[in-house]
Amino acid sequence: MAWWALSQINSAAVFASLIAYASFFEVFSRIIFSSLGDQIDRKLIIIICNSVSAATALALIILSIAGIFDFYLLVFLIVISSIATGVRSPLESSILPMLVKTEQVSEAFRFNKAVYSVVTLIGPGFAGLLISLYNVQLAFIIDFIFIIVACIFVLLIKSNTHPIKNSNLNNDINKGSKIFIKDWYHKTIYGIRALFYVKPEFYFAILAMLINFALYPFFMILVPVFIKNHLGLGAWSVGLVDAGFGVGILLASLFLVKKLSDFFYRDIIIFIGTLLLGASLLLSSLLVNPYIIAIVMVIGGAGLMLININTTVLRSLATPEHYRNRMMAIVSAFSSLSLPLGSYFAGLLLSAVGITYTMEIFGAIIFIVSFFILILPSLKQVSRLPECDLKGVYYQIYPKAFKDQL
């Protein structure tokens, strides 16, 4: 979609604003709908979200085949798709502990990220190849087919994915729609409240917000602009760079995270990952060969997984079960508040200083942020606990954060 939109709009600044719309509504939906995963069957919500994504993909197929490009219609489709993504994303993490035993949670998340990395590795390169050899319409059709296949696989899940019901909220309210609305309201407010009480997650959200400010526009805006406008290369080069990042994600998911865990605490691994990610973005802005850039992106992808896997496992185990989806969603949403601002800022910098300096600035932001991880004591308190002691530990340390605790 990004390549199609950029080729039609032919303006990096307008393209950046389009991405900003998408990121804003994705963040908004994570906050507003964060409690759904703690009220409704998580598998059902994922299926609904995938169905919405399939509908938007089908609309893009029809528009591209008909040769229709309407900016405002595209914004509408992106908004709908972004809302579905915002609701679905935290569920993909909060549902995992319901599918495996507690001692298998870390392994499940590593496997999940490994599968994701394979998709990241193959997907962009495959899409770039389709666009270069054939056309964007075929890429949209393949995307639609894959979404349908994903829906089928989710339907095959046999584990119980219904959330725990909270009697303290439900006993004193009427049955019917009122019970759902009031429960939704209370759960959303309590979820937001919990983030501010649980200091490690609050600090993780702040750090992730700063990282996302630079990382999201870097790949969504700067890489396509750098490849297409600065280097004058085709869509295959964007796919190559993204694929390099995917290789790094795969290597870290399968090997590096586990190996480093034998020698370092989680907070140190998160620091190393952030440092590597920032350094890779800085270095890539100085290169012109797409193959070398892809190799550098391997380091960046590995760094990102060192951050993501460790923070996600910690969050999923330390948070009480009936708060898990809200904590996942609200931390994700809070850390993503900078996405629209980052996209907008990227557009301003592109117009002011050009693509190379913009990439260097965004890489430097992540590099500098990494050092703040080492000076936050509350992160060390939970990050250095053994995995067997993590289950529900947030309730033990921060009991006031979970007001509707069963």
In a domain, 403, yes or no: no
Residue 125 pLDDT grade (very low, low, confident, very high; cuts 50, 70, 90): low
Give the separation between CA 240 and CA 126, rounded to whole angstroms: 9
Q: Nearest-CA neighbor of 249 among 93, 359, 110, 126?
A: 110
Q: Nearest-CA neighbor of 253 among 109, 110, 105, 107?
A: 110
Residue 364 pLDDT grade (very low, low, confident, very high; cuts 50, 70, 90): very high
In a domain, 179, yes or no: no
In a domain, 253, yes or no: yes
The pLDDT of residue 269 is 93
Residue 7 pLDDT grade (very low, low, confident, very high; cuts 50, 70, 90): low
Give the separation between CA 162 and CA 42, rounded to whole angstroms: 6
Q: Nearest-CA neighbor of 54 among 180, 159, 140, 161?
A: 140
Give the separation between CA 176 and CA 184, rounded to whole angstroms: 13
In a domain, 182, yes or no: no
Residue 207 pLDDT grade (very low, low, confident, very high; cuts 50, 70, 90): confident
In a domain, 183, yes or no: no
In a domain, 166, yes or no: no
Any idea what the Cα angle at residue 75 is, between residues 73 and 77, rounded to 5°? 70
- Say whether pLDDT at 18 is over 90: no
pLDDT in tens, 260-312: 988 888 889 999 999 999 999 999 888 878 899 999 999 999 999 999 888 88
pLDDT in tens, 148-187: 998 898 888 887 777 765 544 444 444 455 666 677 777 7
- Say whether pLDDT at 406 is over 70: no
Q: Nearest-CA neighbor of 270 among 160, 135, 366?
A: 366
The pLDDT of residue 94 is 80
The pLDDT of residue 302 is 92
Give the separation between CA 326 and CA 338, rounded to whole angstroms: 19
Q: What Cα–Cα distance (Å) separates residue 268 from each residue in 121, 251, 257, 258, 379?
A: 27, 19, 12, 14, 10
Find the mean pLDDT for residues 31-40.
77
Find the mean pLDDT for residues 53-69.
85
Residue with tokens 């595209």: 74
CB 35 within 8 A of CB 164: no
In a domain, 351, yes or no: yes
In a domain, 390, yes or no: yes
The pLDDT of residue 367 is 92
- Domains contained in the chain, number: 1
Find the mean pLDDT for residues 94-98.
80
CA atoms 79, 309, 254, 107: torsion sign:
negative
Q: What Cα–Cα distance (Å) separates residue 46 from each residue in 49, 55, 93, 154?
A: 5, 14, 11, 8
Its domain, for residue 68, covers: 9-160+188-398
Give the separation between CA 310 and CA 186, rounded to whole angstroms: 29
CA atoms 378, 316, 165, 187: torsion sign:
positive
CATH number, position 46: 1.20.1250.20
- Say whether pLDDT at 399 is over 70: yes
